[in-house]
Amino acid sequence: MKKLLIFGLTISFLILAACGGQQETKKATNQGESGAPKIASLSIHLTNDLLALGIKPAGSVVGGGLKDFLPHAKEQLSNTKKLGIAADPDMESLLALEPDVIYVDEELAGQDLSKYKKIAKTEVFNLSDGTWRDHLKKIAKLVDKEKEADQYIKDYDQQAKEVKSLIQQKIGNGKVMAIRVTAKELRVFSMKRPMGPILFEDLGLTPVDGVKKLDSKRPFEVISQEVLPDFDADAIFVVVNQDDQAQQAFKQLEKTPIWKGLKAVKKNQVYTIADQPWLDYSALGNKMAMDEAKKMFSN
């Protein structure tokens, strides 16, 4: 009788241990390699802030135009499930993911917050409020990575100082502007994100007077090529969309007397940069843009 009791208790302990092990395995799987909760990110910017902290979300929305993860982050998201575009997430895929928490952009989520809250705990970010540093710190607090976030920002600011010095060696105290060429439009960036802060705050470059006068609530303003000389920039950063029509539009612009007569062109101070990572405006995107700037101005 005593032997049977001991045997029964032994079996019970083994079963409990096995169940506990399964729960721990499930928990570990749910949290992923980083130890963070199973996160579904419904903003590409929040996704890239997570990556900056070494956290790979279980699921993420993709870039609207690309229908894919942004190129500078794609490799790091190899095992991340695609959840549609930010403006219209794939709810079926989100449900199937069974996330522990959902990160949403308040502006894009709008009145739909309740439907996300029914699926999992939902963290709401106002990406129009504060800087990418603020967004990174908020995420860091949620995932217990505050020291890592502080170090990331410290390293970024130090690098920005180095790059600022490199740029000044090239253009001195010259005034700067940034433009974007699309298939149909010529845009000049304002002081507002995504381009304004990295050029005029992080790198401390001096904007041309015309840029200062642009609407600070809008990221850019559409202009005609005829007014380009009015900005009188000593250096111009140019973003050209990757589609063939935009590339052709820039080639045509370069052939015009207006372009050839620009001060920046005559000084050979025109710097072509990619839309990504420069227009990402996330911790990851800004760091990669800074890396590119350092390489560009070190040559």
| Range 46-51 average pLDDT | 98
Give 149-179 pLDDT, tens digit per residue.
999 999 999 999 999 999 999 999 999 999 9
List the one residue out of 126, 115, 119, 100 whose CA is nearest residue 43.
126
Cα separation of 107 and 126, whole Å? Answer: 7
Cα separation of 57 and 97, whole Å? Answer: 11
Give 220-279 pLDDT, tens digit per residue.
999 999 999 999 999 999 999 999 999 999 999 999 999 999 999 999 999 999 999 999
Cα separation of 46 and 43, whole Å? Answer: 5
Cα separation of 158 and 163, whole Å? Answer: 9
Give 108-148 pLDDT, tens digit per residue.
887 789 999 999 999 999 999 999 999 999 999 999 999 99
Is 80 exceeded by the pLDDT of residue 198? yes
Minimum mean pLDDT range among 1-15, 171-185, 204-218, 228-242:
1-15
Is 50 exceeded by the pLDDT of residue 66? yes
The pTM for the full model equals 0.86
φ/ψ of residue 59, rounded to 5 = -145, 150
Reduced to 3 states (helix: H, G, I; strand: E, B; else coil), residue 248 is helix
Q: Locate tokens 């603020």: which residue? A: 134
121-125 sheet: strands from edge to edge: 88-89, 81-85, 59-62, 39-41, 101-105, 121-125
Is 90 exceeded by the pLDDT of residue 289? yes
Beta strands 186-189 and 175-181 are antiparallel
φ/ψ of residue 26, rounded to 5 = -60, -45
